Amino acid sequence: MAGHKLQQGLVLGMSTFAFTMCFMVWMMFAVLGVPIKELLQLNETQFGLLAATPVLTGSLIRLPLGMLTDRFGGRIVFFILMLVCVLPIYMISMATEFWHFLVLGLFVGLAGGSFSVGIAYVAKWFDKSNQGTAMGIFGAGNAGAAVTKFVAPAIIAAASWQMVPKVYSAVMFITALLFWFLTYEKKEHRVPSSISLGEQLKTLKDPRVWRYCQYYSIVFGGYVALALWMTKYYVQEYELTLQSAALLAACFSLPGGVLRAIGGWMSDKWGAHSVTWWVMWVSWICLFILSYPQTDFTVHTVNGPQTFHIGLNVYVFTALMFAMGMAWAFGKASVFKYISDEFPTNMGAVSGIVGLAGGLGGFVLPIMFGALVDLTGVRSSCFMLMYGVVWVSLIWMYVSEVRKTPVMGHGSASPMNASSDA
């Protein structure tokens, strides 16, 4: 029998790997959607719907999966979830109509529910003092969004877009088997069967849960939405090839995933409240600059009309996206540090509802991005929308937390002492 430390390491390592592969699959339409859009002659709103459809089911299923994890354990739930996704992924290669992709996307989206399974599964293997770091390492699986931007364009260039789902289905099947044989389960991590469904859901009445939903709808929902949107944005705004666009889009997706572990460590050290507060301000600044559209204007001078151009070139744009990806990586970890601090015995249910809210943000936002572009003709309108959403969180956070808690104080100044809205 493996020692406890080895079991911890394997559970964390394999859960992170499995989540990375699930997230890679969940985000496949970020790249795959570009040739499909061209093939089916889709408008911007239809593309947004195509890209976001897997996010819908991946979001809605997070709460029930989190509760199942509390009840039956993360190992068996995670394993079955991955197996269920294998066939729908493969069938995308045979789709020919828009509705085919939408229906199959709903089933493929189940892979996105893996987060609420893995986060509760991993957290229960670690002490409170290093739970944030462990959850941050697991959450680094969000880098699967960047992985798909490296892998999918290469597969499309080497073969065809139909080969992407075939490869991804094989990867998912192999990952499920490796996960099953290299992980462990402890019965004491499960919620006692005497606790009813109603008791598990009771904590959802807590106003703190809904505040964390709002934060997560930005740092995760916004991350998912922009990860889906950026490849196409680069192609259309800067006239790049699919391969170049996907590579630059990964400059946002990659730090938004892998740096989550650092966000977990920061949350352990300084507290979830302090980290989240500064994440929101960095997001506000970046989105303010990103919102400005490409503009040409004429000034009538004494020497005649002079035309000027204001707009972000591809390098400045990518640098701002990279900075925001870093901030959101820290924010994703800090939100779940809140949850592990305040709801340690009911993490599956609470992380499920917070993950659901974040995922729904990732579903609704790409559709709204497309609708805004169709209505206004301004591509940067997606950043204008996100800028407004961040304003809501900053105001809510100031009213409910900042006035009561010192910012960037000692780690002991946790929101547990000052975050009740009641």
pLDDT at 336: 82
Mean pLDDT of the chain: 85
**Over pLDDT 70: what percentage of the chain?**
90
* pTM assigned to the model: 0.74
Three state DSSP letters for 185-252: CCHHHCCCCCCCHHHHHHHHHCHHHHHHHHHHHHHCHHHHHHHHHHHHHHHHHHCCCHHHHHHHHHHH
pLDDT at 203: 67
Cα dihedral across residues 119, 121, 126, 129: positive or negative? positive
Chain segment 129-154, per-residue pLDDT in tens: 777 788 888 988 888 888 898 899 99
pLDDT-derived band at 198 (thresholds 50, 70, 90) equals low
pLDDT-derived band at 5 (thresholds 50, 70, 90) equals confident
Torsion of CA 242, 358, 64, 122, to 10 degrees: 80
What are the residues whose beta carbons fall under 8 Å from the beta carbon of 165, sequence distance 6 or more? 28, 32, 89, 90, 91, 92, 93
C-alpha separations of 153 from 147, 163, 231, 307 in Å: 10, 11, 11, 39
Domain boundaries, the chain: 4-188+197-298+305-415
- The answer, yes or no, to whether residue 102 has pLDDT greater than 80, is yes
Torsion of CA 278, 279, 284, 286, to 10 degrees: 120
Chain segment 29-50, per-residue pLDDT in tens: 988 988 998 899 988 889 888 9
- The answer, yes or no, to whether residue 195 has pLDDT greater than 60, is no
User: Residue range 341-353: average pLDDT?
Assistant: 75
- The answer, yes or no, to whether residue 193 has pLDDT greater than 60, is no
Chain segment 385-405, per-residue pLDDT in tens: 999 999 988 888 888 877 666
pLDDT at 283: 95
The CATH code of the domain at 4-188+197-298+305-415 is 1.20.1250.20
Kind and range of the H or E run holding 309: strand 304-310
